[in-house]
Amino acid sequence: MTDQRQAALQFARTNRDLFLASLKEILAIPSISTDPARLADMQKAANWVCDQLRSLGMQKVKAHPTNRHPIVYGEWLANRGAPTVLIYGHYDVQPADPLELWKSAPFEPTRRGDNLYARGASDMKGQVVATLKAVESLVKSGGLKVNVKWMIEGEEEIGSPSLDEFIKQNRTLLASDFCLNPDSGMIAPEAPCITYALRGLAYFELRVHAATHDLHSGIYGGVVHNPAIALAELVAGMHDADGRITLPGFYDKVRDLSPEEREQLTRLPMNDKYYLDQTGAPALHGETGYSAVERVGARPTLDVNGMLSGFTGAGSKTVIPATAMAKISMRLVPDQDPKDVHKQLEKYLKANAPRGIHWELTAMQGSKASISNLENAGVQALSAALEASWGRQPFLKREGGSVPVVIKIQELLGQESVLTGFGLPDDNLHAPNEKLHLPTWYKGIEALVHFFMNLAG
Amino acid sequence: MTDQRQAALQFARTNRDLFLASLKEILAIPSISTDPARLADMQKAANWVCDQLRSLGMQKVKAHPTNRHPIVYGEWLANRGAPTVLIYGHYDVQPADPLELWKSAPFEPTRRGDNLYARGASDMKGQVVATLKAVESLVKSGGLKVNVKWMIEGEEEIGSPSLDEFIKQNRTLLASDFCLNPDSGMIAPEAPCITYALRGLAYFELRVHAATHDLHSGIYGGVVHNPAIALAELVAGMHDADGRITLPGFYDKVRDLSPEEREQLTRLPMNDKYYLDQTGAPALHGETGYSAVERVGARPTLDVNGMLSGFTGAGSKTVIPATAMAKISMRLVPDQDPKDVHKQLEKYLKANAPRGIHWELTAMQGSKASISNLENAGVQALSAALEASWGRQPFLKREGGSVPVVIKIQELLGQESVLTGFGLPDDNLHAPNEKLHLPTWYKGIEALVHFFMNLAG
């Protein structure tokens, strides 16, 4: 181990109490982004981050104003030839209600046993402070040997409405080799994780019409098509008996899982029992030939998110509805394109819609999947770092959801994101008694020290 | 033609103005059964009917009290050996709003051209008065030669809530050979009709559950079944490619149409264009091998009357719903039994529901189809009567809906109903400017004179 690495790790171990004190400072600021009464606290939290960055010697540190809450930027670009990491984070938190369920006040960080309780402790002030303290450990032990850019926003919990515009106007400022996003989490205290892929989304509304008005099912039942049945038939036809999606060409661009990735995914402790417990479903269901984890992370899926037709109140009404509607969305994997999926769905409907109906399809949302190459320098450096800190290989995960900021960074900056974090499944995110497991957090800071050292090469 | 028939028809022709004056009397009473402010008017209308029956020499005339509005009964049973007809009717009407759309006040019967405008003119005070005036014509021309019983209720427009109990408590009083129900209508002024069959109904609510709670479609899409899709698949499987219903045993008891009936139904002027015009649907749809009229009147059908699952508001929500619901109903034909259909649907669901869901089925309503034998004395007498009056064979119709009173009379008294009436499709039933076409009404009275004469043999 190099001297600097050793020294930085030593610094991190020696200064745990100071790191904790620093974390408590930012946790004490109620930076609830959705609450108009907290505008001053939002600015205070942004300033706190700026102060930290300045104390680390970062340059161009500024809380950039937006229509709502500032985005903090700072950089250290002194290492010519070394990689540049964009570090994403957010300093805003969810509201704390219901307050009466908190054992200690949400903005009075309180330690009980190994845990520190406060709103934002895990999501994600704790993670932001972990990156700050890892960089501090390096700065105080001979200096940072890679380049870093920080983009710490204050609107993540309200959907990052200002981020698009900020990124578009600062493409050069934000240019990097990849993005480190520590807003993800771990499966268990001994199970560090890297999420390297997220699915994309294509979301549609399908409306089916037959008669121009609701009809009496006695007088007209048997004469015209029932739009609810026609819709059901169209929806039913979208999967085959193997749970595969039947839209023409849907799988053409789907990137297959490599044997190495499949092997990685089998390591995850999310087996069938896990998903049965989580969902309460009587049995699992999905595409033949893939495990649950593979189906969620690495295979495209099609869901009906909503469906409405006719009379849905209590009791009975003998009506043939004039119209039926379904919200239909697909989770996409590399290299599917939501625009292609739109065409595929239209083609399917043209081929399968019966003569007795009209239909209308509206595209509501679309984003591609995001994936980091496992050979990406960030994935490699982070993987080795987590292994060094935990003494075991991290789990390499593909997740089923979309993280808007990852998509924005991919689409607007062309940068891959590597997601990690040191929160645990029982951290009560967005709920009362949010907490951070401190032994895990300290390990995380050390892992990040390794990460920056690994990246420097 | 017999002397009495001739005399009675002459009486009917001579007294048209008096008949019209009589009709105007009852139309002037705002007997709106749903309106609590009209209780006195309801009693007044019932009394008016009683007075009419007494003036015809009917016996046991009484406005029987119920929980809401009286049921008028009266009888003439002097003709030993002759058939007994139960004449059903109702003296209540729909509300008249929106009042501002009426050209003349709804309860001030007003003649414009050949039509008399008033609420209830067609539905069905005009029809009740037609039967009274036909019987009067016979009574004044030598006496009625058949036996009649009248059951004229005041709650038809609110679903006949008291009728069940009244029939149950008066089975002997109401016993007859068949029921004449003039609450049906004609297709056109020159197209008299007899409706001899109505479909039954079986109505269900089907609920499908998978996970115990709504799930994030990113995190769980691909792992558990989507109840909306499972429901769609179950619904889609309920019809085959020929539009036939796939529930096991569903057609076992379906009575085939006789060649004679099919021939009769081809005479109806309700061709495909008629149904396309009525519904505005882009194409008709239904069971292969049957015409639209046959499908509606004589074949069982299955419709989804309502469907609900997940997020149905504006915009998008990426949820896997915990539950999905469909209201599913079947129109039944002789000799299907709604209890059998319940079992068939359960059997279908047991055989076809996938492992990944739970389902619950609730039976909401059930009634058998009703049909009169075409050899029924009532059908025969009425058919010849309509032909005598219009100079053409009446249309023999099977209708797709259910008429609750016909079902009650069939189930509680075991009596077939023969439906007719002298209203026209443009009579604005339940709407502003309801009217009665007087030339047709006068023809109808004469037809009823023929009917009672024919029945006497």
Residues 355-384 of A with CB under 8 A from B: 355-358, 364-365
Which residues from A are below 8 Å from B327, CB to CB? 310-312, 316-317
Phi, psi angle pair for A87, to nearest 5°: -100, 115
CA angle, B155 then B161 then B166, to 5°: 90
Signed CA dihedral, B4, B6, B10, B13: sign only: positive
CB contact under 8 Å between A211 and B280, yes or no, is: yes
- SS3 state of residue B317: coil
Q: What is the mean pLDDT of residues B22-41?
A: 97
Q: What is the mean pLDDT of residues B24-41?
A: 96
Which residues from B are below 8 Å from A365, CB to CB? 316
Residue B404 domain-assigned (yes or no):
yes
Residue B108 domain-assigned (yes or no):
yes
Q: pLDDT digits over A151-202, tens only? A: 999 999 888 999 999 999 999 999 999 999 999 999 899 999 999 999 999 9
Give the pLDDT score at A76.
Answer: 97
Q: pLDDT digits over A260-315, tens only? A: 889 988 988 889 999 999 899 999 999 999 999 999 999 999 999 999 999 999 88
- CA distance to partner chain B, nearest, from residue A305 (Å): 5
CB contact under 8 Å between B235 and A236, yes or no, is: yes
H or E element: which one contains B111? strand B110-112
Give the pLDDT score at B270.
Answer: 87
CATH number of the domain bearing residue A27: 3.40.630.10
| Closest residue on chain A to B200 (Cα) | A218
Note whether B327 contacts A: Cβ–Cβ < 8 A. Answer: yes
B105 Cβ partners below 8 Å, 6+ apart? none
Tell me the CA distances in angstroms from B360 to A124, A159, B44, B64, B363, one per residue in order. Answer: 43, 38, 49, 43, 10
Q: How far apart are CA A248 and CA A149, in angstroms?
A: 43
Note whether B283 contacts A: Cβ–Cβ < 8 A. Answer: yes
Which residues from B are below 8 Å from A200, CB to CB? none
Q: pLDDT digits over A296-307, tens only? A: 999 999 999 999
- SS3 state of residue A321: coil
Question: Best residue in B219, B223, B403 to probe A by mutation, most A CBs within 10 Å?
Answer: B223
Q: What is the share, in percent, of chain B residues with pLDDT greater than 70?
A: 100
Note whether A286 contacts B: Cβ–Cβ < 8 A. Answer: yes
Same-domain status, B447 and B353: no
Half-sphere exposure of A282 (CA within 13 A, CB side): 12
Same-domain status, A133 and A210: no
Residues 187-206 of A with CB under 8 A from B: 198-199, 201, 203, 205
CATH number of the domain bearing residue B359: 3.30.70.360
Q: How far apart are CA A170 and CA B164, in angstroms?
A: 78
Same-domain status, B446 and B314: no
Residues 260-279 of B with CB under 8 A from A: 275, 278-279
Q: pLDDT digits over B393-445, tens only? A: 999 999 888 888 998 999 899 999 999 999 998 899 888 999 999 999 999 99
Same-domain status, B190 and B232: no
Note whether B161 contacts A: Cβ–Cβ < 8 A. Answer: no
Greater model confidence, A457 or A222: A222
- SS3 state of residue B115: strand
Which residues from B are below 8 Å from A212, CB to CB? 279-281
Q: Tell which of A319, A344, A367 closes a domain.
A: A367
Give the pLDDT score at B158.
Answer: 87
Q: pLDDT digits over B90-105, tens only? A: 999 999 988 999 999 9
Q: How far apart are CA A285 and CA B356, in angstroms?
A: 6
Same-domain status, B338 and B245: yes
**pLDDT higher than threshold 70 for residue A212:** yes
Note whether B14 contacts A: Cβ–Cβ < 8 A. Answer: no
Give the pLDDT score at A229.
Answer: 98
Give the pLDDT score at B402.
Answer: 80
Residue A144 domain-assigned (yes or no):
yes
pLDDT band at B316 (very low <50, low <70, confident <90, very high): confident
Strand partners, A353: none
Q: Using CB atoms, which residue from A203, A223, A399 is nearest to B286? A: A223
- CA distance to partner chain B, nearest, from residue A286 (Å): 5
Note whether B315 contacts A: Cβ–Cβ < 8 A. Answer: yes
- SS3 state of residue B409: helix
Q: How far apart are CA B87 and CA A288, in angstroms?
A: 65
Give the pLDDT score at B1.
Answer: 67
Give the pLDDT score at A158.
Answer: 87
Which amino acid belongs to residue A72? V
| Closest residue on chain B to A355 (Cα) | B283
| Residue in the block written with tokens 């009067």 | B136
Q: Tell which of A310, A332, A367 closes a domain.
A: A367
Same-domain status, A362 and A375: no
- CA distance to partner chain B, nearest, from residue A363 (Å): 10
With beta carbons less than 8 A apart as the criterion, state whether B33 and B94 touch: no
Which domain, by its residues, includes B216? 200-254+300-367
Q: What is the mean pLDDT of residues A50-57?
A: 98
Residue A263 domain-assigned (yes or no):
no
pLDDT band at A318 (very low <50, low <70, confident <90, very high): confident
Residue A325 domain-assigned (yes or no):
yes
Give the pLDDT score at B199.
Answer: 93
Q: What is the mean pLDDT of residues B333-339?
A: 95
Maximum Cα–Cα distance across chain A: 88
Tell me the CA distances in angstroms from A127 to A190, A404, B57, one per residue in order. Answer: 17, 18, 97
Round the average pLDDT of chain B to a whole number and report it. Answer: 95
Q: Tell which of A327, A350, A367 closes a domain.
A: A367
Residue A338 domain-assigned (yes or no):
yes
| Residue in the block written with tokens 């549609």 | A204
| Closest residue on chain A to B300 (Cα) | A222
| pTM for the structure as a whole | 0.86
CA B170 to chain centre: 23
Q: How far apart are CA A224 and CA A243, in angstroms?
A: 31
Note whether A401 contacts B: Cβ–Cβ < 8 A. Answer: yes
- Burial A227-245, CB ≥16 within 10 A → b, else e: bbbbbbbbbbbbbeeebbb
| Residue in the block written with tokens 């045993």 | B249
CB contact under 8 Å between B210 and A235, yes or no, is: no
Note whether B455 contacts A: Cβ–Cβ < 8 A. Answer: no
Which residues from B are below 8 Å from A367, CB to CB? none
Q: pLDDT digits over A228-239, tens only? A: 999 999 999 999
Give the pLDDT score at B437.
Answer: 98
ipTM at complex level: 0.86
Give the pLDDT score at A269.
Answer: 84
Same-domain status, A390 and A358: no
Q: What is the mean pLDDT of residues A5-19?
A: 98
Same-domain status, A191 and A209: no
Which residues from B are below 8 Å from A222, CB to CB? 286-287, 292, 295-296, 299, 301, 331, 400
H or E element: which one contains B12? helix B3-14
Same-domain status, B338 and B449: no
Chain A with chain B: Cβ pairs closer than 8 A? 308
| Closest residue on chain A to B275 (Cα) | A223
Same-domain status, A394 and A445: yes
Which residues from B are below 8 Å from A299, CB to CB? 222
Note whether A215 contacts B: Cβ–Cβ < 8 A. Answer: yes
Note whether B211 contacts A: Cβ–Cβ < 8 A. Answer: yes
**pLDDT higher than threshold 70 for residue A422:** yes
Residues 41-80 of B with CB under 8 A from A: none
Signed CA dihedral, B209, B214, B215, B217: sign only: positive
Q: How far apart are CA A125 and CA B445, in angstroms?
A: 88
Same-domain status, A208 and A86: no
CB contact under 8 Å between B319 and A306, yes or no, is: yes
CB contact under 8 Å between B223 and A199, yes or no, is: no
B304 Cβ partners below 8 Å, 6+ apart? A226, A228, A229, A232, A309, A310, A321, B235, B326, B327, B328
With beta carbons less than 8 A apart as the criterion, state whether A247 and A345 touch: yes
Residue A233: both structure tokens together:
């038939």
- CA distance to partner chain A, nearest, from residue B240 (Å): 11
pLDDT band at A1 (very low <50, low <70, confident <90, very high): low
Residue A42 domain-assigned (yes or no):
yes
Number of compact structural domains in chain B: 2
Residue A233 domain-assigned (yes or no):
yes
Which amino acid belongs to residue A110? T
CB contact under 8 Å between B222 and A400, yes or no, is: yes
Same-domain status, B339 and B378: no
Strand order in the sheet with B115-117: B110-112, B115-117, B435-437
Q: What is the mean pLDDT of residues B354-365?
A: 95
Give the pLDDT score at B154.
Answer: 98
A121 Cβ partners below 8 Å, 6+ apart? A23, A27, A109, A427, A434, A435, A436
| Closest residue on chain A to B278 (Cα) | A211
